Amino acid sequence: MYIVLTKDLPGVGQKNGLLNVKKGYFMNYLQPKGFAKVATASMIDRLRDIIMAQKAAAAQAAQEMGQRLKELSGANIMMSAKASGKGTLFKAFSAKEILAALKKQLNLEVEKDQLEMDHIKTVGEHTIKIVLGGQTAVVKVHVEAKAEGK
């Protein structure tokens, strides 16, 4: 028996999913709890339209993300921190500080897991990678020694 889920059910399927289940499972569990309805031809056509719209929206979002990554590729952010005379920073820049700089300087909000970088421990130019949707942008981080005032 074909049914359409009306809610997300872990281990079973997602909302608007078309499933083939046993009649007893549907009649005794899914239908009484309001988790599913019997799939009709008109409902299947509506689902097809919903899925096509979701795919189109996902493709549009991926295209916009790709365009944004192209714009960001080769971008530069500037950071400064106290450093020793040899150019070693007293405190390394972590991913959290890089994310804050990306947001402030490039107006880009990304998650920590979308950032590929090592801790930045020296003055100079460093590269980081931003990975979104399988696409990658390389951003340069320029670190300079902060002037100490007395």
Give the alpha-carbon dihedral of 113, 7, 55, 137, to 10 degrees. Answer: -10
Long-range contacts at 88-95 (CB < 8 A, ≥ 24 apart):
88/121, 88/122, 88/123, 89/120, 89/121, 89/122, 89/123, 89/143, 92/119, 92/120, 92/121, 93/119, 93/120, 93/141, 93/143, 94/119
Q: Is the CATH number of domain 2-68 3.40.5.10?
A: yes
Per-residue pLDDT, 111: 85
Tell me which amino acid residue 75 is.
A
Given CA atoms 115, 117, 119, 121 in this order, what sign does their dihedral have? negative
Give start-end residues of each CATH 3.40.5.10 domain in the chain: 2-68
As a whole number of angstroms, the distance between CA 99 and CA 91 comes to 16
Per-residue pLDDT, 23: 94
Give the alpha-carbon dihedral of 96, 98, 116, 77, to 10 degrees. Answer: 170
Per-residue pLDDT, 78: 92
Q: Which fold has domain 69-145?
A: Ribosomal Protein L9; domain 2 (3.10.430)
Q: What is the DSSP letter of 108?
A: -
Full pLDDT tens readout for the chain, 150 residues: 999 999 999 998 988 889 999 999 999 999 999 999 999 999 889 889 988 998 999 888 888 887 877 877 788 899 988 888 888 888 888 888 988 988 898 888 888 888 888 888 999 999 998 887 778 888 899 998 886 644
Per-residue pLDDT, 66: 79
Per-residue pLDDT, 67: 81
Give start-end residues of each CATH 3.10.430.100 domain in the chain: 69-145
Do 142 and 79 touch, CB atoms closer than 8 A?
Answer: yes
Angle (nearest 5°) at CA 55 between 15 and 36: 15
> Could you tell me which residues come within 8 angstroms of residue 50 by beta carbon, excluding any fewer than 6 positions away?
16
